[in-house]
């Protein structure tokens, strides 16, 4: 059975039926995700977390990691697909994995936006998020955030 699986995968790849996740990413979609993160980073909770990280003497921009929680499907997935996103601000950058203390967002879809939790986390101390700290919705093509 194992002998048949590998040739079948090669055949699919050769005919173009097998694509990497990066090949399916639309630039406009990634830009919209970046706008969402930038909106979240302007919120009071995120600004306080960034201030705390900078007070600890971190060199360079702080790391930000963003997950989407789908409890009804028992799923947790990264917001950005593929390699490192080209998204950040003057004192932070979005990453796919943290190597030091960072700001971590957990978004949960609700209506035409998300409710979110933001927290400080270390690479070996990552939780699944806590209580909602706020919400973001898309209004007239622009992300708008509010605290809960």
Question: Where in the sequence is the domain holding 118, given as residue range(s)?
Answer: 26-147
Q: Which two tokens stand for residue 148?
A: 């809960």
Tens digit of each residue's pLDDT, the chain (148 residues): 434 333 333 333 333 433 334 444 466 678 889 999 999 999 999 999 999 999 988 778 999 999 999 988 989 999 998 788 889 999 999 999 999 999 999 999 999 999 999 999 999 887 776 788 899 999 998 999 988 7
- 107 within a domain of the structure (yes/no): yes
- 18 within a domain of the structure (yes/no): no
- In angstroms, the CA 140 to CA 95 distance is 28
- 2 within a domain of the structure (yes/no): no
For residue 127, the model assigns a pLDDT of 78
- 114 within a domain of the structure (yes/no): yes
- 78 within a domain of the structure (yes/no): yes
Q: Please say whether the beta carbons of 60 and 90 come within 8 A.
A: no
Nearest to 134 by CA among 63, 71, 41: 41
In the chain, how many domains are there? 1
| Residue ranges with strand state E in the chain | 62-70, 75-78, 88-89, 92-94, 102-110, 113-121, 134-139, 142-147
> Is residue 92 packed enough to be buried (19+ CB in 10 Å), middle (13-18) or exposed (0-12)?
buried
- 16 within a domain of the structure (yes/no): no
- 84 within a domain of the structure (yes/no): yes
- 77 within a domain of the structure (yes/no): yes
pTM: 0.78
For residue 57, the model assigns a pLDDT of 82
For residue 8, the model assigns a pLDDT of 38
């Amino acid at each position: 059975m194992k002998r048949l699986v590998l040739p079948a995968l090669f055949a699919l790849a050769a005919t173009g039926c097998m694509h990497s996740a990066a090949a399916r990413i639309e630039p406009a979609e990634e830009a919209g995700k970046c706008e969402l993160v930038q909106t979240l980073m302007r919120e009071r909770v995120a600004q306080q977390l960034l201030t705390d990280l900078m007070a600890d003497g971190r060199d360079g921009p702080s790391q930000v990691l963003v997950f989407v929680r789908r409890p009804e499907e028992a799923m947790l997935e990264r917001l950005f697909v593929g390699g490192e996103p080209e998204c950040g601000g003057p004192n932070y950058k979005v990453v796919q994995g943290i190597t030091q203390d960072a700001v971590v967002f957990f978004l949960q879809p609700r209506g035409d936006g998300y409710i979110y939790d933001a927290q400080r986390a270390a690479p070996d101390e990552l939780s699944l998020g806590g209580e909602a700290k706020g919400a973001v919705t898309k209004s007239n093509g622009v992300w708008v955030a509010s605290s809960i």
